[in-house]
A and B are shown apart, each in its own frame.
Chain A
Amino acid sequence: MTVAPQRPAAPGLVGTAHTRVEGRDKVSGAARYGGDIPFAGLAHGVLVLSTVARGRIRSVDTGPVLAMPGVLTVLHHGNAARLNSDYVGMLGIPPDPTAVVFQHDRVPHAGWPVALVVAETPEQARAAADALTVTYEEEPHDVALSADRPDAYAADGHMPGTTEKGDLETELAASPHVVDAEYTTPEEHHAMMEPHVATAWWDGGRLDMVDSDQGITWVADELARMFSLDPAAVRVRSEHVGGGFGSKGVRAPQVAAAMAAAELGRPVRVSLTRRQMFSVTGYRSPTVQRVRLGAGPDGRLRALEHTSLNQTSTVYEFVEPGAGVARTMYDAAAHRTENRVVRLDVPSPTWMRAPGEAPGSFALECALDELAEKCGLDPIELRLRNEPETGPVSGLPFAGRNVAACFLEGARRFGWDARDPRPGVRRDGRWLVGTGTAAASFPAGTLPSTAAVTAKADGTFTVRISASDIGTGARTALTLIAADALRVPAERIEVRLGDSDFGPSGIAAGSMGTRSWGWAVAAAAEELRERLLPGVELPPEGITVRSDTTAAIAALAAKERHTWGAQFAEVAVDVTTGEVRVRRMLGVFAAGRIVNPLTARNQLVGGMIWGISMALHEEAVRDQASGALYGADLAGYHVATHADVPPDVEAVWVDDHDPDDPVGIKGIGEVGIVGAAAAVANAVWHATGVRHRGLPIRPDRVLRAGDADA
């Protein structure tokens, strides 16, 4: 069968705006999320988390709790089934031990799951979980991340830890313009609307689960390995998902629910409280980054070094590859990048929207802005002069590099040409006003997927793919793609998602969802259309064509494939109160074929708003004394509110076409946040003349910077 779908001869539905096909269900409450679905005989589990940051569990006093009303069982390391955690899952990584619950008495971080209390009602389970006494042998903990940790080490993660070419010190010494600065980003949390939830039940050795995840195949595969089951004996469903942002893979709720359901022989649901989400669902590690740039008199880079240090837990190595973005963005004769980690007594971090690129672009794009200032060059001009011909580290050709087009279109729309480069000179009442810009990029990856498309006797079509629509509009995008491939109106397509029985597919993450699934859906739909010759009579069960893109993806030419962008921000700063307000924001992106402009704009603007939030608000504070988070709720952890987002946040896109790319669709889930925080920070400098190299740019920091200047 063919797996390289051809573009429709005439413009079709792809590229035109469509509201979400499930939109009415969502706004009317008809759409059921993981925690909404009723089950007969459902029992409810509540996790109990450790209150110490390091030590051993001495005792779990289950007796009094088992005597409480409705309590059915208490699972803990002393009685829980042993699971297999010695594997590398579908995404090339072992499981996070925080998810493989109740396997031993060690406590490696505050908020580590130590027990699950199951009861007839959620209230009974919650009351019993609150009442459960767990005693610990507490040990001294260490949760302090700093640049000079002697125990930090270079680590690979999903890319090489270190890349190096040329003689850095020599090139730096020979550079008339040098930037050498440290940038920090704080611990950040996904804070999606819908908490993690899982309901599990067993049917004769088969595990069934309804959860809220962003990778059905991934979750089903890991559960099969953990519980030593045949992959076909696990079914996971997740029809609607209220946000994931990287945190909704295999987490403690799925594993604990499956364990408890096995013990009780009835369905068990485990849902997290908001406070629990802050310690058992991963987070973006804080980073300490150093960027050294050396440039000639013309601003052309001779030396670039970007190192990024992140924390990880003592039980899991997660690399937040902040230095990775420099491997794509800029070249220099001497070029060195390194991602480093240090193991602390903290929960394991994980992917969070634009892992690596989000914090990395903050450091690198602020450093570029500092270099532009030193060179006396416009920040856009500096970037245009440093556009590489090929991948700076890989040496591979770019599958289209549209950074310049984004900057030029953005400069035109934003009115950049009229910008006075001097900092701290524009005033509007009590506000100092400035503008800033930054580049953006994110890899355009693809994961193998399978899809099935069925032509039914009534003239309609059903698409089945185990994809997850985590709010991105994937269901709608796949509807449009299928309709175009079949040359039929969208109304004749039903897309069914979120069921592992539909066959393996890629995850809703890494900006790979729509590209990966759309490829598989188009391939199956096009082959089906070829089979539906005029006069062919459909059997009652219809005709189904299945696709598998594994081979086609493996055959893709090796190239630097990315989505590109240029971010622009205008901010106002009151240096007497420390308040910073974003007045307008523009993102121009080169993101391949845009399937649905309506939801694409949602995604890109959503990412940019995350960037505002990252620049000004988000910071999880780890209390050094306890090792736990301070204020771990949505009152303590600030995300941008509507009032922080100016009405004028605009996302547009330029033509971006790679003739070699068989699908032409690129991901847009992450690129919107990349560079956004740097654009805001650069604008704050332009407004005030003060560089803020640590995020978020909170009022106290603005005020302290003012004091330091005075």
Chain B
Amino acid sequence: MREFDYRRADDVTGAVALLDADPDARCLGGGTNLVDLMKNGVETPARLVDVRSLPLDRIETDDDGAVRIGATVTNSDLAAHPLIRDRYPALTQAVLAGASGQLRNMATVGGNLLQRTRCGYFTDITRPCNKREPGSGCPAIEGEHHNHAILGASEHCVAVHPSDMGVALTAFDAVVSWRTADGAGEAPLTDFYLPVGDTPHRETVLPPGALITHVTLPPARVAARSRYRKVRERASYAFAIGSVAAALEIDDGVICDARLALGAVASRPWRARLAERILVGAPASAEYFAAAADAELAAARPLPHNGYKVTLLRNLVVAVLTELAEETSR
């Protein structure tokens, strides 16, 4: 582990100044991913700016009904908050499906979005990895990849984003806001992560020295009837091999609004807009749920050992939408 400078910031301006002063600085939230990566030598920041004391730990509603989640809100607090439980239940379910109680008590919303892939080549500095060491190659494509991407990957990287929270946030049109020394910026979460292309080491649109300040969920009536289902290789404490965040609003048997996002399929939480387009206006039936899933997964390009994910995601989408439809009709 490289020696590093540790600073604790008390306000956003101070934090941003500390980040600006050292291009090799990283924000320290819960440290649940960053510290592991520092121990493994994957991350070697010169400076850690501890942001846990910043006044960004609140969940509030805006005048227009949007919910503003501070970047240092812990996963546990997010999942338990009445606003989230009532208006965006899939988000609560997604957070609770991740990690363990101890980790959720530490992990923060901002950190969750910036966590790195758990690809075993990325986390092992003795192996090549284009994301860690651009140009060194991607051993996963010929090697172990049964939990790698089926959508949006490239010949340079097939890693998946590990977040559960991000999948639900993506389904609900979350917007990420940040501050730099030069001012403020924001982007919808669907545009926040960059395409993999030939630059898998560049993961987000965040400018250098940026501090995520909050995540905003616009009001969405459909989100109140939402679900998150996650499949993993043990019942708890494992990253997804496939997950679905979905919301449905049905009027007289016809879908009038739908949200769908998939997890563990791509380098980012995957918003299933093709599927949503098929769903909206269609009858709420298994036939259309399957057609929607198929439309989204038609772009899947599985590797030799992860083709099961196409089946898994299709089945999950149909199952979750069916459950939601049944819930609505009750």
Query: Which chain A residues have a beta carbon within 8 Å of chain B's beta carbons?
Result: 51, 123, 126-127, 130, 275, 430, 576-579, 581, 616-617, 621, 623-626, 628, 630-633, 635-636, 638, 640-644, 698-700, 703-704, 706-707
Contacts and interface: CB of A to CB of B under 8 A. Distances in A.
A632 B124 contact: yes
Contacts of A643: 234-237
A677 to B, nearest CB: 15
B107 to A, nearest CB: 14
Interface string B10-22: 0000000000000
Contact of B241 (A628, A642, A700): A700
A231 B15 CA distance: 61
Given A430-B319, A578-B312, A707-B311, A638 B233 contact: yes
Nearest to A710: B311
A626 B234 contact: no
Nearest to A577: B231
A126 B1 contact: yes
Given A700-B241, A704-B308, A127 B124 contact: no
A703 B308 contact: yes
Interface in B232-267: 233-239, 241-242
Contacts of A644: 234-236
B315 A577 contact: yes
A630 B121 contact: yes
Given A127-B3, A625-B142, A700-B241, A635 B118 contact: yes
A49 to B, nearest CB: 9
Contact of A638 (B1, B126, B238): B238
Contact of A636 (B120, B305, B308): B120
Residue of B142, B143, B233 contacting most chain A CB atoms (<10 Å): B233
A213 B3 CA distance: 33
A699 B233 contact: yes
A212 B143 CA distance: 36
23 contacts: A126-B1, A130-B41, A430-B319, A576-B315, A576-B319, A577-B316, A581-B235, A616-B234, A617-B234, A623-B143, A624-B143, A625-B139, A625-B142, A625-B143, A628-B124, A630-B143, A631-B144, A632-B120, A641-B236, A644-B236, A698-B233, A699-B231, A700-B305
A641 B311 contact: no
Nearest to A696: B233
B311 A621 contact: no
A127 B40 CA distance: 11
A706 B314 CA distance: 14
Contacts of B309: 700
Given A127-B2, A625-B142, A630-B121, 5 more contacts: A127-B1, A576-B319, A635-B239, A644-B236, A700-B309
Nearest to B146: A700
Interface residues of B, number: 36
B127 interface: yes
> What are the 8 A-B residue pairs with the smallest beta carbon separation, nearest first?
A631-B120, A643-B236, A643-B235, A576-B315, A703-B308, A700-B308, A51-B126, A630-B120
A626 B136 CA distance: 14
Given A576-B315, A630-B120, A703-B311, A621 B144 contact: yes
A195 B1 CA distance: 19
B193 to A, nearest CB: 22
Contacts of A641: 234-238
B281 to A, nearest CB: 26
Interface of B is mostly: loop
A703 B234 CA distance: 15
B231 A123 contact: no
A73 B121 CA distance: 31
Contacts of B139: 623, 625-626
A700 B309 CA distance: 8
A707 B308 CA distance: 9
Nearest to A644: B235
Nearest to B315: A576
Nearest to A624: B143
Nearest to B2: A127
Residue of B3, B40, B120, B236 contacting most chain A CB atoms (<10 Å): B120
B235 A630 contact: no
Contacts of B121: 630
B123 interface: yes
B1 A631 contact: no
A284 B1 CA distance: 31
Nearest to A623: B143
B303 to A, nearest CB: 12
A631 B233 CA distance: 14
Contacts of B242: 577
Nearest to B235: A643
Nearest to B318: A576
Contacts of B236: 641-644
Contacts of A698: 233
Nearest to A633: B123
Nearest to A640: B234
Contacts of B123: 631, 633, 636
Contacts of B1: 123, 126-127, 130
A196 B33 CA distance: 25
B309 to A, nearest CB: 8
Contacts of B311: 703, 706-707
Nearest to B311: A703
Interface in B119-151: 120-121, 123-124, 126-127, 139, 142-144, 146
Contacts of B127: 623, 626, 628
A153 to B, nearest CB: 29
A614 to B, nearest CB: 13
A706 B315 CA distance: 12
B126 A628 contact: yes
A616 B236 CA distance: 13
B326 to A, nearest CB: 12
Contacts of B312: 577-578, 699-700, 703
B258 to A, nearest CB: 21
A633 B239 CA distance: 14
A624 B143 CA distance: 7
A641 B118 CA distance: 19
Contacts of B239: 635
Nearest to A579: B231
Interface in B279-321: 305-306, 308-309, 311-312, 315-316, 319
A626 B239 CA distance: 24
A484 to B, nearest CB: 42
Nearest to B142: A625
B235 to A, nearest CB: 4
Contacts of A625: 139, 142-143
Contacts of A577: 231, 242, 312, 315-316, 319
Nearest to B241: A699
Interface string B27-50: 000000000000011000000000
A402 to B, nearest CB: 34
